[in-house]
Structure 1
Amino acid sequence: MKTMTQKQQGFTLIELMIVVAIIGILAAVALPAYQDYTVKARVSECVNMMSSAKTTVAMNASEGATLNSGFNANEETDNCEAVAISDAGVISVDSTTKAGSVSLTMTPTSGDAALEAGTPPSGAIEWTCSIGDADNYKYVPSSCHNTTTPSKG
């Protein structure tokens, strides 16, 4: 009877070290991108909360009423402070520290002019989204990419 010896096969130490190094490099690249994506998702909650305020301003403008009348501000959330509307119809909200501390402002215009309380707009209302700090632009969702940013420095 012939005995057969079987050699145990597996990965060498150097092969395992290469795999661990590759996983480490991928994690080093992916983790910051994932964190930015998470903050962007949280800021998008704030942009969505501004939509009801936009409706209020548009309805009041078309009726010739005070632009911020009848708006019930939302409760603060884990990601967003309360939405506010100024007398000029400018909507603002700040995200919390957890959501990158982004200051968002939506400014309405009609025919390249600011809206005026008591005067219905002459055309369609257009919204310009602004942020307080240019470094936070990467956190602004695409629904707000007509964004104006302050210059750095």
Structure 2
Amino acid sequence: MTNQRGFTLIELMVAIAIIAVLSGIGIPSYQRYIQKAALTDMLQAMVPYKMAVELCALEHASLDNCDGGKQGIPTGGSSRYVSATTIDKGVITLTGQQTLANLTLAMSPTINNGGNVVWTRTCTAADSSITDNCKAVFRFNDKA
């Protein structure tokens, strides 16, 4: 009688079960990582507009004329994860695409009593995980 070599059905089923469990843990973690990387790209795309709005507000003591294409503020652009950028009276609005589809980020400046520009962010998305990650990446004035 010849010796057969190979794996039994039980051994194959155990290996498949282990792969399924690891995939169930790994895929959501990877998706969160990709979202945070895309939000970091969105943050980098927003920085030149934020600095220009701050300069406009400090030079003119008002945000009324701080629009895209005026007062040294660049016109809105796009990047890999940002489909549109608008600047209206200092409010910077970025619309996400690809991994950040359906995300709208609004950065609203106000001038406090000391003449400093204070930013508040509003993250709006259908997916709560994107909203939570957006709030974590764009946390300029949060206390925690």
TM score, norm. by length of structure 2? 0.73
* Aligned residue in 2 for 1:71: 73
Q: What does residue 16 of structure 2 align with?
A: 20
**Aligned residues: percent identity?**
30
Aligned-residue offset at 1:36 = 3.1
- Residue 122 (structure 2) pairs with residue 130 (structure 1): yes
For 2:47, which of 48, 51, 65 is the aligned residue?
A: 51
Match of 1:144? Answer: 138
Q: Structure 1, unaligned stretches of length 5 or more?
A: 1-6, 112-120, 149-153
| Residue 36 (structure 2) aligns with | 40
Q: Structure 2: how far apart are the matches of 1:75 and 1:83? A: 5
The separation in 2 between residues aligned to 1:35 and 1:147, in whole angstroms, is 27
- Which residue, 83, 86, 111 being the options, matches 2:85? 83
Would the aligned equivalents of 1:49 and 1:83 in 2 still touch at CA under 8 Å?
no
Give the deviation of 1:98 after TM superposition: 3.8
**2:39 touches 2:137 (CA, 8 Å); kept in 1?**
no
CA distance in 2, matches of 1:14, 1:72: 63
Structure 1 ranges of 4+ moved more than 6 A: 7-10
Bigger fraction of residues in strand: 2
5+ unaligned residues in a row in structure 2: which ranges? Answer: none
More helix as a share of residues? 2
Compared with structure 1, are the counterparts of its residues 147 and 138 closer, same or farther at alpha carbon in structure 2 (3 Å cutoff)?
Answer: farther
Match of 1:31 in 2: 27
Deviations 1:70-107 (Å, cap 9, x if unpaired)?
222353233112322112x1111101144232100111
- RMSD (Å) for aligned C-alpha atoms: 2.9
TM-score, normalised by the number of residues in structure 1? 0.69
User: Which has the greater radius of gyration?
Assistant: 1
Higher relative contact order, chain-length normalized (CA < 8 Å, sep 6+): 1
